[in-house]
Amino acid sequence: MDFEFSEEELAFQAEVEAFLDATQDPAVMDPARENMAQIVDTPERRAFMAQLSEKGWLGITWPTELGGKAGSGVYEYLLNEALARRGAPQIGKGVGIIGKTLIRHGSDKLKSEFLPKILAAEVEFAVGYSEPDAGSDAAAMKLKAEKVDDGWILNGTKIWTTSAHFADWYWVGARTDPDAPKHHGITLFLVPMDHPGLTVNAIWTMGDERTNEVHFDNVHVPDDYVVGELNHGFQYISEALDLERFTMFTFSPIQARLDLLTEYVKAAKRDGRPLKDDPVVRSRIARLTAEAEVARVLGLRFVAAATHVEGKPPTTQASQYKLYATELSKRLADASMDLAGPESLLAVGTDTAPMRGRAESTYRYTVLDTIGGGTSEVQKNIIARRKLGLPKNF
């Protein structure tokens, strides 16, 4: 497999970097924000996404008849990695998870209503799969959807909905057939976040980021806002999670933190001796550098496999990348704390701290990356069953 970019792809990459240089704004771009925090959660960030829309960079891989460019996924990859490198909001949920699922499975009404808004950066989504009693098992959701004459009534609770406090619409799974096996009988709905039956309560994470618990109290959803076929929601969720595992866990912030640690080790001294001369330190940096290259190539392999939006996302490649990259991110955070010593406990942004305190915030936040989009244990199970052919109860 050729992992080099073509001249056209490199030209696009340069165009994106020039645009980001010209629009550099600390209110929009903060490299200290970790992967899952690079979201469109402020007016300034919404305005920035509107600029991306004007450039025609949203929906690059979408079909032309739906407003896209039918382009290669490599261009979307280059764009998202460049955004993540600067700490800018990523194209994420709207263009990737919701948009691509609607293209494959949505009704004409949902496509006509939401796809133009996604391309114009006029709408933001929250994603509701997790529930208090379901753990990492999305198929165990119990949010109840009962059929009424003109739609459905939803009751129950979702948890860990990161964008619920600023999103416009809720992309949510509910159980429409309680008697079906747990991987069946689930349906996807689109619900406006300003619905009076929704209550959003903040939950603050160890990474200093807000997520939410969302309560449904007799939330009415018209039939028109059912996504795809009734009781096929888990299959759609599985496809969307494959996209999430790749697009929301970009590689470039990992590389940036490795570069930051490497530069620190080059200059730092311990007991009067250069840290870079310690053979144990050199071995650890070398190992992390090799592992980073593995993560980068796993990401490119996913891009090569996901040829276009009409095809189903490659499941095992997404899980392999997500598992390896997020666990590497944790190992890198551990190394940054270890090599920087006691001063690594100083908070991010502290000028006198090693790496300006990045190690401390990363150490806390990278734990979240191994949970979001499916835990590392879930990824191992997917790889074991779908790639290695092992039985479920191995």
Instruction: Report DSSP letters for 304-365, one per residue.
Output: HH---TTSPP-HHHHHHHHHHHHHHHHHHHHHHHHHHGGGGGSPTT-TTSGGGGHHHHHHHH
pLDDT averaged over every residue in the chain? 91
**What is the per-residue burial (b if ≥16 Cβ within 10 Å, else e) of 169-208?**
bbbbbbbbeeeeebebbbbbbbbebeeeebebeeeebebe
- CATH fit for domain 251-387, picks 1.10.1380.10, 3.90.10.10, 1.20.140.10, 3.40.50.1980: 1.20.140.10
Q: Is the pLDDT of residue 394 over 60?
A: no
Structure tokens at 169: 């619409």
The percent of residues above 90 in pLDDT, for the chain, comes to 69
Element (H, E) at 300: helix 279-305
Residue indicated by tokens 């340069």: 14
Q: Provide the pLDDT confidence category of residue 309 given band limits of 50, 70 and 90.
A: very low
pLDDT in tens, 172-196: 999 999 999 888 999 999 999 999 9
pLDDT of residue 393: 63
Domain 7-124 is of which CATH architecture?
Orthogonal Bundle (1.10)
Helices (H) and strands (E) counted in the chain, each on its own, are 12, 10
Q: Smallest Cα–Cα separation from 380: which of 296, 298, 322, 334?
A: 322
Element (H, E) at 77: helix 73-86
Going from N- to C-terminal start, the domains of the chain cover 7-124, 127-231, 251-387
- H/E stretch holding 170 reads strand 169-175
Question: Is 50 exceeded by the pLDDT of residue 308?
Answer: no
d(CA 128, CA 97): 12
Q: Is the pLDDT of residue 161 over 90?
A: yes
This prediction has a pTM of 0.89
Judge whether 308 and 61 are in contact, CB under 8 Å.
yes
The 10s digit of each residue's pLDDT in 364-393 is 888 888 888 888 998 899 899 888 999 876
Phi, psi dihedral angles at 192 (to 5 degrees): -65, 135
Q: Which helix (H) or strand (E) holds 265?
A: helix 252-267
Q: Integer distance in angstroms from the first to the last C-alpha of the chain?
A: 33
Distance, in Å, from the CA atom of 188 to the CA atom of 174, rounded to the nearest integer, reads: 6
**216-242: pLDDT as tens digits:** 999 999 999 999 999 999 999 888 777
Superfamily of domain 127-231: Butyryl-CoA Dehydrogenase, subunit A, domain 2 (2.40.110.10)
Dihedral sign computed on CA atoms, order 35, 37, 39, 43 = negative
Contact predicate 53/386, CB 8 Å: no
pLDDT tens, position by position, 13-42: 999 999 999 999 999 999 888 777 778 899
pLDDT for res 290: 98
Identify the pLDDT of residue 119.
96
- Structure confidence at residue 246 (pLDDT): 67
Q: What is the mean pLDDT of residues 107-114?
A: 97
Of 383, 343, 345, 376, nearest in space to 363 by CA? 345
Question: What average pLDDT does this structure show over 121-134?
Answer: 92
